[in-house]
Amino acid sequence: MTQTPFSTSVPHLAVGLSNIWKSFPGVIANAGVELRVESGTIHALLGEKGAGKSTLMNVLAGVYRPDQGDLKIHGHSHQFRNPSDALAAGIGMVHQEFRLIPSFSVAENVVLGSASSVLRTRQVQSEVSEIAERFGLKVDPSQPLWQLSMGERQKVEILKILWRDAQVLILDEPTTVLTPSEVDELGEILRKMADDGRSIIFISHKLHEVSGICDEATVLRQGKTVASSLSMESTDQSELAQLMVGTSASVATRPEPVTPGPPLLELRGLTALGDRGLEAFSNLTFQVNSAEIVGIAGVAGNGQRELADVIAGLRPSTAGSLLMGGAEITSASPQLRFKSGLAYIPADRLGVGLAPRLSITDNAILRVYRQQRRGPFILAERALSYCKDIVNRFGVRSGDLDGPIAALSGGNLQRLLVGRELDGQPSVVVASQPTRGLDVQGVKAIQELLIEQRNSGAAVIMISEDLDELLAIADRLLVMEGGVIRGEFDPRTASRHEVGMAMLSDGQVASQA
């Protein structure tokens, strides 16, 4: 990533959190946390899942009230009763879990809850379009949200904060769906905001981004501040990782090269439509071999989501054919595909992969519930035993297994989903954004599970907007842009720049395989 210049003028303290305590039944989330963010700076907030980052930011954003501690914004003490109070004080937050209404348009979601939401449709769309263009977050203001990919929805969340002109912006993993060039562009945008006097709290697990974008960093571990206001000019990524997890953790170790086996998944001229009735991708032809991880790189909205849906049988194709293990499955049902050895890890873990109203045990047995029943009734003890096995083998941290799945943290939700899908030794694994939003340790754990599948002979197709992740663990890399394959690369020799250019190739096909 291109290093950006650091601010030289710091007027005063924008955010001062002192001795913040916040607990929930059985859990102390924040234990005397300290955070100081200067005006005109970009401040990184780092820590593992469960370190207390989200709780602290929810205190700052007015979602939670602290049990104890002082909160000052631009030198003035505040006690926020709700997020509206925080927004009135100039605090805006993009939450990790999207807070959008699928049936509303992009523009309606952006202005929802403000006085301007009663403006005429054209006026709202014009305003949103202008801001989107200004900050390079190009989306169609009139498009219904349900038609957008997860990455595009994240852009809408960012637009909501920019539209409200917050002076203190909390951005939680804002670069997940951006190319390297777009990350650099976002860094420049944030720098302009900081130079204009705004303060940005930047939460990311990509330490190279933190080093390239941020001025200072605060690190939390187990609810406590272990490092405060570290200068990024004098701190390296290894030190940050060690502060976060007590060891120099990063990504999984690159798998040793092996000779791939026969093709287990084959796409032959595959074409499919998106939610708006337009072609999402066309004439895709490639194969994924046994003992191989094929990475699919690309900016969100270029057909990756639809591709995963078609392979899983959740969306029909309009042309071409799909084979698994040499057998035609183009028209096969999802159930038949799963029985044939397909595992699917969707990008939307709570919307598609898991059922938030069901218990942890019920979610764990979704693929095998027919084996856990007698007649119409689920055998409770057998189902619970199966769930315990998944939880133990895949490191899911959970209390009551009969409790709601929504009570689990994002990392544990993903571990349960991945564990459920990988149980039974699948022959083909489709993993879409499998590490999105996870901490350093969670990312490494999921990556290692996928590498284990590859080493056991499975064909793994990994769709991710995290280019560094794909370059680190994929055996072969394909780039999708505009619904077609724009390039094929060897991740061991390809550079981030040349792959990033293929992601924005606009019709120029690249190859380095």
Cβ neighbors of 347 (< 8 A, separation 6 or more) are 149, 150, 305, 308, 432, 433, 436, 463
Helix, strand, or coil here: 19? Answer: strand
pLDDT surpasses 90 at 398: no
pLDDT per residue as tens digits for the range 48-96? 766 888 899 999 999 999 999 999 999 999 999 998 899 889 999 887 6
Q: Using CA atoms, how far apart are residues 136 and 152, in angstroms rounded to an integer? A: 12
User: For residue range 475-492, what is the model confidence (pLDDT) as tens digits?
Assistant: 999 999 889 999 999 999
Question: Over the stretch 404-425, which tens digit does the pLDDT of each residue have?
Answer: 888 787 778 888 999 999 988 8
For residue 166, what are its two tokens? 């917050």
pLDDT score for 45:
94
The residue type found at 55 is T
The CA-based angle 259-264-265, given to 5 degrees, is: 120
Of 325, 322, 257, 320, the residue nearest 289 (C-alpha)? 325
pLDDT tens digits for range 18-30: 999 999 877 789 9
- Among 98, 94, 117, 93, smallest CA distance to 107 is for 117
In this structure, are residues 354 and 416 in contact, taking their beta carbons and an 8 Å threshold?
A: yes
CA–CA–CA angle 73, 77, 78 (5° rounding): 85
Which residues are paired to 159 by β-bridges? none
Average pLDDT, the chain: 85
DSSP codes joined into one string, 432-487 = ESTTTT--HHHHHHHHHHHHHHHHTT-EEEEE-S-HHHHHHH-SEEEEEETTEEEE
Phi/psi-derived region of residue 233, left when phi > 0, alpha when psi is between -120 and 50, beta in every other case: alpha
Q: Is the pLDDT of residue 4 over 60?
A: no
Residue 497, judged by CB atoms within 10 A of its CB (0-12, 13-18, 19+), counts as exposed
pLDDT digits 0-9 by tens, 31-53: 999 999 999 999 999 887 668 88
Helix 410-422, helix 380-393: angle, nearest 10: 110
Tokens matching residue 162: 């920019």
Start-to-end CA distance of the chain, whole Å, equals 24
Q: Which residue has the higher pLDDT, 442 or 109?
A: 109
Model pLDDT, residue 119? 58
Domains of the chain in start order, with CATH, are: 13-245 (3.40.50.300), 263-350+426-512 (3.40.50.300)
Neighbouring residues of 483: CB distance < 8 A, sequence distance ≥ 6 = 279, 280, 281, 282, 302, 303
